[in-house]
């Protein structure tokens, strides 16, 4: 009874803390501007099934994709055993589904054990690739510190999770032969039927019961810890990959977002009718993006859904040729900036309010926030200038993240709002604005018509 109470309290506390943490992630994402979702919902669901659930794009890189598949499928199947563990913990029963499902239960547990063994193998492979083999895309400078530790912690957690499963099942298998009245026969298990007797055979019933409970609690502690850990981990993509894929653009990846204000200005210059009419006294809009508030919430969702796998950076021609740009770092920087802004807003400290109307502001919100910093404090001008807009990073991402869109928005802000940019770009833009051509010619581009 005491174990049930402890379990229920632990479950309730985890649920409450998780709700607070994941709610904060949602608020961080919604710091961005509205994002219009258009196109066929059936096509969006098709993408979710094929790309997010089916891991379709992962298999462009076969070897890591296969090992990732082991962990992914094992994660899905172990949720069945997790449901049973939760039922057992709440109601104080043991292997609730075993007498109900019979032989099918044995089949399910066997599938979980085989997949768990494959996941364990994949865990060692990934630890080796990251820490000993040092695959180039996994040892870039942006992964130094916490990102590298984060990846290793999850792999260690996976090892502990599988250890808990085999300890629980192995000790339970031996107890089934000693106390069949109290421990339901699960049938032959692919791993535990030989591993249990090999490791725990000859132990006293008390020691076996301790090991079985140890494995059971280890499993649930790792799962609950994992739930609370995800909001600060790149592995949040386990959940966010699905909405990210669903809300991704359905248009061609080469299609760039239009700016209505610029389009209308060009139309008026060409004598065409503009789609909207702007008032002469209307304040000029701020083009592009300076901070997370100027990005769409979808851009910020992209950042939180990033797996930090580095496939985007590995195919980036700018990065390959030694330029400073790393599309993965761009997404990580956006997420870090959103986290910083959110923390400051949550603090309620009015020093982060806009100075011009500081006296009238009572509550700090995203609409009156100003800490004197922007995304340009995270992402250098050199990085955004290096982008060739080739879309290689967009094509490579296994969960349809678009690093190019925020890069373009940052460049638009620099060029159109700050009238700045690389020295070699400015003359071209000036000539284009004045003469309608990229060359600095002394006559109008259409002057030949008059001749």
How confident is the model over 151-163, as pLDDT tens digits?
999 999 999 999 9
Average pLDDT over residues 252-270: 78
Query: Which whole number is the average pLDDT over 409-420?
Result: 90
pLDDT tier at 431, thresholds 50, 70, 90: confident
Q: Which pLDDT belongs to residue 445?
A: 65
pLDDT classification of 440: cutoffs 50, 70, 90: confident
Tell me: pLDDT of 367 over 70.
yes
Each residue's pLDDT tens digit, 91-116: 999 999 999 999 999 999 999 999 99
Model pLDDT, residue 105: 94
The pLDDT of 414-434, averaged and rounded, is 83
Most confident of 255-269, 271-285, 359-373: 359-373
List Cβ<8 Å contacts ≥24 apart for 129-132. 129/64, 130/155
Q: 195 near 166, Cβ under 8 Å?
A: yes
Domain range annotation of the chain: 2-30+61-246, 285-420, 421-451
What are φ and ψ of residue 353, in 5° steps? -85, 155
Tell if the pTM clears 0.85, that is, is over it: yes
Statement: residue 280 has pLDDT above 60: no
**Summary mean pLDDT of the chain:** 91
**Longest CA pairwise span in the chain (Å):** 106
Are 400 and 244 contacting, i.e. CB atoms less than 8 angstroms apart?
yes
What local confidence, expressed as pLDDT, does residue 359 receive? 60
pLDDT at 284: 65
- What percentage of the chain carries pLDDT values higher than 90? 74
Q: What is the pLDDT of residue 171?
A: 96
Count of C-beta atoms within a 10 Å radius of residue 187: 16
Q: Taking 70 as the threshold, does the pLDDT of residue 282 lie above it?
A: no
Domains 2-30+61-246 and 285-420 share a fold: no
C-alpha–C-alpha distance, residues 286 and 65, integer Å: 43
Q: Give the per-residue pLDDT at 259.
A: 81
* Model confidence at 442: pLDDT above 90: no
Q: Which whole number is the average pLDDT over 266-280?
A: 67
How many residues are given for the chain?
Answer: 451
- Does the pLDDT value for residue 444 go beyond 90? no
Between residues 260 and 8, which one has the greater pLDDT? 8
The pLDDT confidence band at residue 357, using thresholds 50, 70 and 90, is low
Q: Residue 115's closest CA among 190, 218, 212, 213?
A: 190
Between 153 and 262, residue with greater pLDDT: 153
Q: Radius of gyration over alpha carbons of the chain, in Å?
A: 28
pLDDT of residue 439: 76
**Residue pLDDT, tens place only, 114-146:** 999 999 999 999 999 999 999 999 999 999 999
2-30+61-246: what fold?
Fumarate Reductase Cytochrome B subunit (1.20.950)
Q: Which residues pair with 369 in a beta bridge?
A: 353
3-state SS of the chain? CHHHHHHHHHHHHHHHHHHHHHHHHHHHHCCCECCCCCCCHHHHHHHHHHHHHCCHHHHHCHHHHHHHHHHHHHHHHHHHHHHHHHHHHHHCCCCCCHHHHCHHHHHHHHHHHHHHHHHHHHHHHHHHHHHHHCCHHHCCHHHCCHHHHHHHHHHHHHHHHHHHHHHHHHHHHHHHHHCCCCCCCCCCCCCHHHHHHHHHCCCCHHHHHHHHHHHHHHHHHHHHHHHHHHHHCHHHHHHHHHHHHHCCCCCCCCCCCCCHHHHHHHHHHCCCCCCCCCCCCCCCCCCCCCCHHHCEHHHHHHHHHCCCCCHHHHHCHHHHCCCCCCHHHHHHHHHHHHHHHHHHHHHCCHHHECHHHHHHCCCCCCCCECCCCCHHHCCCHHHHHHCCCCCHHHHHCCCCCCCHHHHHHHHHHHHHHCCCCCCCCHHHHHHHHHHCCCCCCCCCCCHHHHC
- Over pLDDT 70: what percentage of the chain? 95
CATH of 285-420, one of 1.20.120, 1.10.1060, 1.10.287, 2.60.40: 1.10.1060
**37 pLDDT more than 70:** yes
Inter-helix orientation angle 327-347/297-305, to 10°:
110
- Is pLDDT at 281 greater than 60 in this prediction? no
Distance CA 155, CA 214 (A): 20
* Per-residue pLDDT reduced to its tens digit, 369-401: 999 999 999 999 999 999 999 999 999 999 999
| pLDDT score recorded for residue 313 | 97
């Amino acid at each position: 009874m005491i174990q049930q109470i402890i379990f229920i309290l632990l479950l309730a506390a985890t649920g409450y803390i998780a709700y607070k943490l994941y709610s904060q992630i949602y608020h961080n994402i919604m710091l961005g501007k509205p994002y219009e979702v258009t196109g066929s919902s059936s096509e969006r669901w098709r993408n979710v099934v094929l790309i997010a659930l089916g891991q379709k794009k992962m298999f462009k890189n076969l070897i890591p994709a296969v090992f990732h598949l082991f962990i992914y499928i094992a994660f899905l199947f172990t949720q069945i055993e997790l449901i049973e563990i939760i039922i057992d913990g709440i109601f104080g029963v043991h292997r609730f589904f075993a007498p109900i499902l019979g032989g099918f239960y044995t089949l399910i547990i066997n599938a979980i054990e085989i997949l768990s063994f494959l996941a364990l193998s994949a865990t060692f492979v990934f630890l080796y690739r990251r820490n000993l083999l040092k695959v180039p895309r996994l040892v870039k400078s942006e992964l130094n510190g916490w990102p590298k530790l984060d990846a290793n912690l999850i792999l260690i957690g996976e090892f502990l999770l599988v250890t808990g499963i085999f300890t629980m099942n192995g000790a339970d298998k031996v107890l089934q032969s000693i106390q069949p009245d109290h421990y339901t026969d699960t049938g032959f298990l692919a791993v535990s039927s030989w591993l249990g007797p090999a490791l725990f055979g000859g132990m006293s019933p008390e020691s076996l019961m301790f090991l079985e409970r140890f494995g059971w609690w280890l499993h649930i502690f790792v799962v609950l810890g994992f739930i609370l850990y995800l909001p600060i981990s790149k592995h949040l993509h386990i959940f966010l990959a699905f909405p990210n894929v669903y809300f991704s653009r359905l248009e061609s990846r080469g299609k760039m977002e239009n700016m209505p204000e610029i389009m209308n200005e060009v139309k008026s210059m060409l004598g065409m009718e503009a789609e909207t009419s702007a008032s002469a006294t209307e304040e000029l809009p701020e083009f592009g993006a300076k901070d997370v508030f100027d990005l769409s919430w979808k851009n910020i969702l992209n950042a939180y859904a990033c797996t930090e796998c580095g496939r985007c950076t590995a195919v980036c021609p700018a990065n390959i040729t030694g330029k400073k740009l790393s599309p993965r770092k761009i997404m990580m920087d956006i997420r870090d900036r959103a986290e910083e802004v959110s923390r400051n807003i949550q603090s309620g400290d009015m020093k982060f309010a806009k100075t011009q109307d500081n006296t009238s502001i009572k509550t700090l919100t995203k609409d009156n926030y100003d800490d004197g910093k922007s995304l340009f404090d995270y992402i250098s001008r050199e990085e955004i200038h290096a982008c060739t807009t080739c879309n290689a990073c967009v094509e490579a991402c296994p969960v349809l993240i678009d690093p190019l869109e925020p890069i373009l928005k940052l460049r638009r802000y620099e060029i159109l709002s700050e009238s700045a940019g690389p020295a070699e770009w400015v003359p071209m833009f000036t000539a284009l604005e004045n003469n309608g051509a990229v060359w600095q010619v002394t006559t109008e581009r259409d002057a030949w018509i008059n001749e």
